[in-house]
Structure 1
Amino acid sequence: MTLAVRVRDLRPGDLPACAWSGSALHLRHVEGELARAARGEVDYLAVCTAADLPVAIGGIDYQVSEGAGTLWQLAVLPALQSCGLGTLLVRTAERRIRDRGLRRAELAVEEDNPRARALYERLGYIPYGRAPDAWDEEGPDGSIRRHETVCVLLRKPL
Structure 2
Amino acid sequence: MMEDVGVSIRQYTDDDFAAVCALNGEGQTVSYDGAVFVRQAGALYGSTFLCAVCDGVVCGYSIGAPVTGGGVAWVIRLGVLPSRRGLGIGRALMKALEERFEALGIWELSLSVHPENKHARSLYESLGYMVTETVCGYFGEGEDRLIMKKVLNSAKSSSLSPCR
SS in 2 for 1:73: strand
Give the whole-Å Cα distance in 2 for the aligned partners of 1:14 and 1:111: 30
Work out whether 1:33 is the aligned partner of 2:34.
no
The residue identity in structure 1 corresponding to 2:5 is L
Matched, 1:75 2:79: yes
Pairing partner for 2:145 from 151, 155, 158: 151
Match of 2:138 among 133, 138, 141: 133
The equivalent residue for 2:109 is 105
TM-score, normalised on structure 1? 0.80
TM-score (norm 2): 0.78
1:140 corresponds to: none
Residues 97-133 of structure 1: CA distance to partner in whole angstroms, max 9, x if unpaired?
Answer: 1001121111110112111111100111011002233
| Structure 2 portions without partners, runs of 5+ | 153-164
Q: After the TM superposition, which parts of structure 1 deviate over 3 Å for at least 4 consecutive aligned residues?
A: none
Counterpart pick for 1:15 among 14, 17, 40: 17
Q: Output one character per residue of 1:42-88: Cα deviation in whole Å (capped at 9) or x when no partner.
A: 7211011242x211111110026852121111100010001100000
Looking at secondary structure, tell me which structure has more helix per residue.
2
Tell me: CA distance 1:127–1:78, structure 2 relative to 1, closer, same or farther (3 Å).
same
Aligned residues: 142
What is the root-mean-square deviation of aligned Cα atoms in Å? 2.1
Q: In percent, how many aligned pairs have the same letter?
A: 23
Change (3 A) 1:64 1:121: farther
Amino acid paired to 1:98: E
Q: Deviation of residue 148 (structure 1)?
A: 5.1
The structure with the largest strand share of the pair is 1
Moved more, 18-27 or 110-119: 18-27
Residues 112 and 64 of structure 1, relative CA distance in 2, 3 Å threshold:
farther
For 2:52, the equivalent position in structure 1 comes to 47
Tell me, which stretches of 5 or more residues in structure 1 are unaligned? 135-145
The one-letter amino acid of 1:14's match is D
Partners of 2:72 and 2:52 in 1: how far apart? 22
Conservation of the 8 A alpha-carbon contact between 1:21 and 1:76: no
CA 119–64 in structure 1, closer or farther in 2 if over 3 Å, else same: farther
Alpha-carbon distance in 1 for matches of 2:80, 2:14: 18
